[in-house]
């Protein structure tokens, strides 16, 4: 019945339209007209992988990843001190931030150490080979003019985490299409820019060719090949910071309880030396604190809205860089004591007298 109705309706069409419609009609009663023919299934192509676990052609990497980088993997390289061991952990060390079974290294709660001691001489030779011959002044000026401006697309923001592990992967991603990358540093790491430059060059094997306050340009090298970039496993989440020994003691070493209390009260009642802002640029803070300690015994830093965590990080860095003794963190105020460091260090005149005595002898 259905075929009769369809054939009757087709007969009423013009000849050229009948020929076109007849191509899509089927003899099956249950096959509707104009139904698309099923597409043939494509055979699944096997994804190939390289020896180090990286995909060759847009494929998923093979786990566990094997990295030839000769240093221990940490969340932050510039803001942690490997010499200071934690006293406890906020999460079990068995939970690796790289994910279960994704890395051939064991997570210790702080880092993922290398399995074998690397050959540092060979590592240095490879780094020098990638960097190639030093850049001339004209080449440096050309790169600086191209990448130093604020509207540069190849930019990475470095925050309070410092030189993090995943930042290394971002640097190599920019180096695929650019010879250099602009790094803008903000927050606590700007207290020690030398430390930031050291870890950038040491971990990425690049070269800092420009440095202006908190702006850096990291050059990839003449012989850099994006296809032979190192394998950098990514951290899937930020690990919890471990628990370290207490920074400020109740009684300062070398002083009594009453003297410690008096110094803290004097610091709280004194005028602030500097008012720090959140994620600011602290490049000149160390020098200003050193100059203040020439005439003061106690210095107060106003860190309103900076955050308690950043205040403690600032105090730790100033303790090592100035040097000084942080004696109080209260209401986002940092109280620093000069300590006995200046008394132990000889003055310039004493050094000159000692040199003259050695010459005469």
- Asked, for residue 199, whether it belongs to a domain, the answer is yes
Q: pLDDT at position 36, please?
A: 52
86, 220: one domain: yes
Q: φ and ψ at 9, to 5 degrees?
A: -70, -30
User: How many H-runs (helices) and E-runs (strands) does the chain carry?
Assistant: 11, 10
CA-to-CA dists, residue 224 to 102, 232, 357, angstroms: 27, 16, 54
Q: Could you write out the DSSP letters of every residue in 173-210?
A: HHHTT-SEEEEEE-BGGGGGHHHHHHHHHHHH--EEEE
Residues 97 and 211 in one domain: yes
Residues 267 and 330 in one domain: yes
Using left for φ > 0, alpha for ψ between -120 and 50, and beta otherwise, residue 23 falls in alpha
> For residue 356, is it within any domain?
no
Same domain, yes or no: 108 and 162: yes
- What lies within 8 Å, CB to CB, of 82 at 6+ separation is 72, 111
* 133 assigned to some structural domain: yes
Q: Which long-range contacts (CB under 8 A, 24 or more apart) does 14-18 make?
A: none
Strands 298-302 and 272-275: parallel
Report pLDDT for 19.
Answer: 60
In a domain, 265, yes or no: yes
For the record, the structure tokens of 166 come out as 């995943």
pLDDT tens over the chain, length 361 residues? 445 545 545 556 666 666 655 555 555 544 455 445 555 555 555 555 554 545 454 556 788 888 889 999 999 999 998 888 899 999 888 889 999 889 999 999 999 999 888 898 999 999 999 999 999 999 999 999 999 988 888 999 999 999 999 999 999 999 999 999 999 999 999 999 999 999 999 999 999 999 999 999 999 999 999 999 999 999 999 999 999 988 888 888 888 899 999 999 999 999 999 999 999 999 999 999 999 999 999 999 999 989 899 999 999 999 999 999 999 999 899 999 998 765 444 444 444 444 444 334 3
What pLDDT is attached to residue 151?
Answer: 86
What is the CA angle 143-148-151, rounded to 5? 120
183 in the same domain as 275: no
Q: Residue 286 maps to which CATH number?
A: 3.30.110.60
Cis ω before 64 (30° cut-off from 0): yes
Helix (H, G, I), strand (E, B) or coil at 302: strand
Is there a contact between 278 and 122 (Cβ–Cβ < 8 Å)? no
Structure tokens, 74: 């940490």
**Residue 55 neighbours by CB under 8 Å, 6+ apart:** 47, 49, 61, 62
* In a domain? residue 337: yes
**Which residues have CB under 8 Å from 75's CB, separation 6+?**
97, 161, 164, 165, 235, 238, 239
Q: Does some domain include residue 353? A: no
Q: Are residues 14 and 86 in the same domain?
A: no
Same structural domain, 220 and 272: no
> Would you say residue 223 lies in a domain?
yes
> And the tokens for 146?
């191209």
Whether residue 194 is found in the same domain as residue 337: no
Whole-prediction pTM: 0.76
What are the respective helix, strand and coil percentages of the chain, to the nearest 5? 35, 15, 50
Same domain, 36 and 168: no
What is the number of structural domains in the chain?
3
User: What pLDDT does residue 16 have?
Assistant: 60
- What span, in angstroms and rounded, lies between the C-alpha atoms of 26 and 72? 68
Q: What is the pLDDT of residue 355?
A: 41
**31 and 84 together in one domain:** no
Last residue of a domain, one of 228, 249, 276: 228
Q: Which helix (H) or strand (E) holds 185?
A: strand 180-185
Q: In whole angstroms, how large is the CA radius of gyration of the chain?
A: 32
Domain coverage including residue 206: 73-228
Asked if 132 and 215 sit in the same domain, the reply is yes
Q: Look at residue 94 and tell me if it is in a domain.
A: yes
CA separation for the pair 206, 99 (Å, rounded): 28
Same domain, 19 and 114: no
- pLDDT of 340 reads 77
């Amino acid at each position: 019945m259905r075929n009769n109705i369809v054939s009757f309706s087709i007969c009423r069409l013009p000849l050229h339209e009948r020929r076109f419609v007849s191509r899509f009609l089927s003899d099956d009663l249950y096959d509707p007209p104009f139904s698309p023919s099923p597409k043939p299934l494509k055979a699944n192509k096997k994804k190939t992988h390289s020896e180090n676990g990286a995909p060759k052609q847009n494929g998923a990497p093979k786990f566990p990843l094997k990295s030839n980088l000769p240093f221990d993997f940490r969340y932050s390289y510039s803001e942690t001190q490997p010499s200071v061991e934690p006293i406890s952990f906020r999460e079990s060390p068995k939970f690796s931030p790289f994910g279960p079974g994704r890395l051939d290294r064991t997570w210790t709660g702080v880092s993922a150490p290398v399995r074998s001691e690397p050959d540092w001489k060979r590592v240095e030779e490879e780094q020098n080979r990638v960097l190639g011959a030093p850049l001339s002044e004209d080449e440096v000026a050309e790169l600086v003019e191209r990448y130093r401006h604020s509207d540069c697309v190849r930019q990475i923001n470095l925050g309070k985490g410092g030189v993090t592990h995943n930042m290394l992967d971002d640097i190599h991603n920019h180096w695929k299409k650019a010879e250099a990358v602009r790094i803008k540093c903000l927050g606590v790491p700007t207290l020690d820019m030398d430390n930031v430059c050291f870890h950038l060059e040491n971990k990425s094997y690049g070269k800092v060719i420009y440095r202006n306050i908190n702006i850096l340009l990291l050059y990839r090298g003449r012989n850099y090949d994006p296809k032979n970039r190192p394998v950098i496993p990514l951290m899937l989440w930020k690990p919890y910071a471990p628990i370290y020994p207490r920074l400020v003691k109740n009684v300062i070493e070398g002083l009594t309880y009453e003297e410690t209390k008096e110094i803290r009260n004097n610091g709280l009642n004194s005028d602030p030396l500097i008012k720090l802002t959140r994620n600011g640029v602290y490049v000149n803070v160390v020098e200003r604190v050193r100059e203040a300690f020439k005439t003061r015994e106690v210095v107060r830093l106003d860190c309103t809205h900076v955050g308690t965590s950043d205040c403690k990080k600032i105090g730790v860095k100033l303790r090592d860089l100035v040097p000084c003794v942080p004696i109080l963190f209260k209401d986002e105020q940092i109280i620093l004591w000069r300590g006995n460091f200046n008394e132990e260090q000889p003055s310039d005149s004493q050094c000159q007298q000692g040199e003259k005595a050695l010459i005469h002898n």
